[in-house]
Structure 1
Amino acid sequence: MTISDTTVKPQSQSRGSLLLMLSRYGTFLAFLALIVFNIIVTPNFLSWQTLNVNLTQVATIVIVATGMTLVIATGGIDLSVGSLMAISGAVAPMIFMGTLFPINSPALAVALAFTIPILIAMGLGWFNGFLVTRFAIQPIVATLVLFIAGRGIAQVITNGNLQVFKNDIFQFIAMGRVAGIPTQVALMLVIAALAFCLIRFTVIGRQIIAVGGNEKAARLTGIPVRHVKTVVYVISGGLAGLAGLIVVARNSASDANLVGMGMELDAIAAVAVGGSLLTGGRANIIGTLLGALVIQLVRYTLLANGVPDAAALIVKAALIIIAVFIQQRADKS
C-alpha cells in the first residue's frame, strides 16, 4: 500500500460519512436553520398566527405526500393525486347541497359528502394500481391517465361551474379545532403517525419496502407484489380524496379547475427533500413531514422578506436537486 492509498482512503471515508449524515439529518438541519433564521430576521415569526398559517398551509401537502411516500417506496409514482383531489372536491358539495340526489337529513348528507368522495378517490387509486400491476404499465404513464382525464371528469361533473357554499358541519374538517389544534393539522399528524406505524410495525409495511428494494426477490420470497402495489395506490387515492375535501372546505368553494393543481409536484418534492429514495426501497414518513415543512418555510421566508413567490419555485427545484444528489452520492459511498 502506497502513501497516496492511505491518504485517499480516509478522505473518501470521511466524505462518505458526511454525505450519509446529510442524507439522514439534512432535512432536519435545514428545518432548524430556517426556524433560527426566521426568529432572527422575520418579525412576529414566533406568533401563534404565523404557526397556524404555516401548519394549515402544509397540512394537505403532508397528507397527500404521505400516500406518495408509500407509492414511491414500492418503486412507483402517482401523478394523479391533484386530479383526484379535484374530483373529490367536486362531488362533496353536490352531495350535501342535494345537487346529485335529494337527502332529507342534513347530518346524513354531510356524512355521505365525507364518505362517497373518498371512496371514489380510493376506487380511482385502485384503477391506477390495476394498470400498473395487471398490464405492467409504467407507473408514470399509468397515473398520467388520470392526471389528464381526472380533472376533465371533475369539470364535467360540475359543468365547469364554481360551487360556492356554507356548511359549518362539513367545513369543520378545515375550519374547526380539536383540543385547540386546527382539524386539518390534527388529521395531518394522525395520518403521518399511522403511516409511520404501518411502515415500522406491520407486515405490509415491510413488504412495501421489500417490493421497492428488489421486486423480483420479493416475488420469489412469496410477497404478493401485485396486492402490495395496489394497496399503496388505493391509500394514495384515499388520502388525495381527503385532501380535496379539506381544500374546498377551507375555501368555502369548489373549483374543479384549481383544486389540487400542482399538488403532485409538491408531494413528490416533499418526499424527495424528506430523504425517501425516489427509486424505491425506503419510506421516511417523518422525513416527508419535515420535507413539506421545509418547503413551506422556504416559501414563507421568501414572502415575509419581500421576495416574489415565483422565486420559491426556483428554490424548491434547487432543494429537490440537492436532496437527490446527496441521496445518490451517499448510496454510492
Structure 2
Amino acid sequence: MTRTLTSFCARFDPARHGAPLALVVILLFNLMVTPYFLQPQTLFVNISQVATIAIVAMGMTLVIATGGIDLSVGAVMALAGALAPLIFLSNFAAAHPTLGLVAAIVVPILLALCCGVFNGVLVSLLGVQPIVATLIFFISGRGLAQVLTNGNLQTFTHPSFSYLGTGRVLGLPFQGWLVLAIGAVLTWIVARSVFGRQLLAVGGNERAARLAGIPVHRVKIGAYVICSGLAGLAGLIVVAINSASDAARIGNLMELDAIAAAVVGGTLLQGGRAPIFGALLGAVIIQLVKYTLLANGVADEVALIAKAGIIIAAVYLQQARKE
C-alpha cells in the first residue's frame, strides 16, 4: 500500500492531473455533504448551467491558444439573445413560422460570427492588443443589445426553439449532448486539421509561424470567429431556457467563467496549447464549485472569490510546470 502511494506521488503532475483530482474531490464532498446531489433534477440543472460555460470556454480555448484573449463573449451572448426574440415577435415570423424559427437561430449566430471578424481584424490586421480590442465590444456590444430591446425584458413562447434549452435526449438535457458534439468536432479540428496545426504553431511561436508561411492573420481571425459564434449559440441557449431575453443579464461575467474554465482545463495563457475537453472539464469544475457553495448556504459573492482562487492556483501550476 505504501509503495503504491509512493509511486502515485512520484508520477503525480499537479499541472496535468490537478483538474481531474479537483473534480473527484468536489464530487466526493458533494456526495457526502450536499443534500439531494444525486437527484435527477440536480443533475439536469447542473448540466444545463454548465453547458453554456463549456461552449464558450471551448471557443475561448482556441483564442487563448493563439496567444490572445476575448473579453467580448458575454456581450456577444447578450446581442444574439436580444436578436432572437425580436425575430420571433416580428411580422415575418408570424406569417412564416418555420422560416421565422430558422431565422431566429441562424441570423443571431451570423451576427455573432461578424463580431468575431471585428475582433479578429482589430487584433490581427490592425495590431490592437487582444485585451483592448475585445474590450471595445465588451462595452459596446451589450449596449447595442439594450438599444435593440429598448432595455426591456422580451418574453416569447416557441416550443421548437425552447428545445435548445429544455429538451431532453435519453433523459439528459439536449444542450449537454450539444456540448459533447461541439467538443468532439473542435478536438478533431485541433488534432487533425491543417487549421488546428496552424493554430498551435501561431500560439507557440508567431514569428516562426510567419516565416514558415502560415497565414497568421487568417488563423487568428478564424479563432475569434469560432469563439464568437459559439458565444452566440450559448446566448440562444440561455434565451431558450428562460423563454425570455434580458440584454442586461445574459452572459454577464461569462468571459470570466470561460477564461477560468479554459485555464483550469490546462490551456496555457501564453498560447500554443488547446485542450478542448480540458476546457469542458474546467467548466464542470467551475459550475460545481458554485453549486457546492450555494447548496451549502454560502453566499454567491464567495463563489466569485473561489473562482479567483481557482484561476490563481491554475496559473501557478502552469508556471511551476514551465520551471
The TM-score by the shorter chain falls in which range?
Answer: over 0.9
For residue 103 of structure 1, report the CA deviation from its aligned partner: 5.1
Q: Judging changes above 3 Å, is the alpha-carbon distance between structure 1 residues 282 and 62 closer, same or farther for their aligned structure 2 residues? A: same
Q: 1:297 aligns with which of 288, 294, 297?
A: 288
**Corresponding residue for residue 219 of structure 2:** 228
Deviations along 1:200-230, one digit per CA (max 9) or x if unpaired, are: 1111111111100100001111111001001
For residue 180 of structure 1, report the CA deviation from its aligned partner: 2.7
**Corresponding residue for residue 195 of structure 1:** 186
Q: Judging changes above 3 Å, is the alpha-carbon distance between structure 1 residues 47 and 216 closer, same or farther for their aligned structure 2 residues? A: same
Which ranges in structure 2 are unaligned for 5 or more consecutive residues? 1-6
- Taking the TM superposition and a 5 Å limit, the aligned residue runs for 1:254-293 are 254-293=245-284
Q: 2:129 aligns with which of 119, 131, 138?
A: 138
**Corresponding residue for residue 149 of structure 2:** 158
Deviations along 1:227-261, one digit per CA (max 9) or x if unpaired, are: 10010111011001100101111111111111111
In structure 2, give the amino acid aligned to 1:165. Answer: F
- Pick the structure with greater CA Rg: 1
Q: Does 1:210 align with 2:198?
A: no
Q: Distance in 2 between matches of 1:188 and 1:288?
A: 11
TM-score (norm 1): 0.92
Deviations along 1:295-320, one digit per CA (max 9) or x if unpaired, are: 11111111121211211111111110
Q: Distance in 2 between matches of 1:155 and 1:88?
A: 11
Q: Does 1:46 align with 2:50?
A: no
Deviations along 1:80-109, one digit per CA (max 9) or x if unpaired, are: 10011111001111112216x565121110
In structure 2, give the amino acid aligned to 1:230. Answer: I
Q: Distance in 1 between matches of 2:52 and 2:168?
A: 16
Q: 2:140 aligns with which of 146, 149, 162?
A: 149
Percent identity at matched positions? 59
**Corresponding residue for residue 75 of structure 1:** 67
Q: Distance in 1 between matches of 2:10 and 2:117?
A: 41
Q: Distance in 2 between matches of 1:230 and 1:331?
A: 28
Report the 3-state secondary structure (helix = DSSP H, G, I; strand = E; otherwise coil) of the residue aligned with 2:95. coil
Contact kept in structure 1, 2:88 and 2:156, CA below 8 Å = no
Q: Does 1:184 align with 2:184?
A: no
**Corresponding residue for residue 318 of structure 2:** 327
Report the 3-state secondary structure (helix = DSSP H, G, I; strand = E; otherwise coil) of the residue aligned with 2:157. coil
Q: How many aligned residue pairs are there?
A: 316
Q: 2:239 aligns with which of 248, 253, 263?
A: 248
**Corresponding residue for residue 303 of structure 2:** 312
For residue 195 of structure 1, report the CA deviation from its aligned partner: 1.1
**Corresponding residue for residue 117 of structure 1:** 108
TM-score (norm 2): 0.95
Report the 3-state secondary structure (helix = DSSP H, G, I; strand = E; otherwise coil) of the residue aligned with 1:156. helix
Q: Does 1:30 align with 2:22?
A: yes
For residue 284 of structure 1, report the CA deviation from its aligned partner: 1.1
Misfit runs of 4+, over 3 Å: none
Contact kept in structure 1, 2:93 and 2:101, CA below 8 Å = no
Report the 3-state secondary structure (helix = DSSP H, G, I; strand = E; otherwise coil) of the residue aligned with 2:99. helix
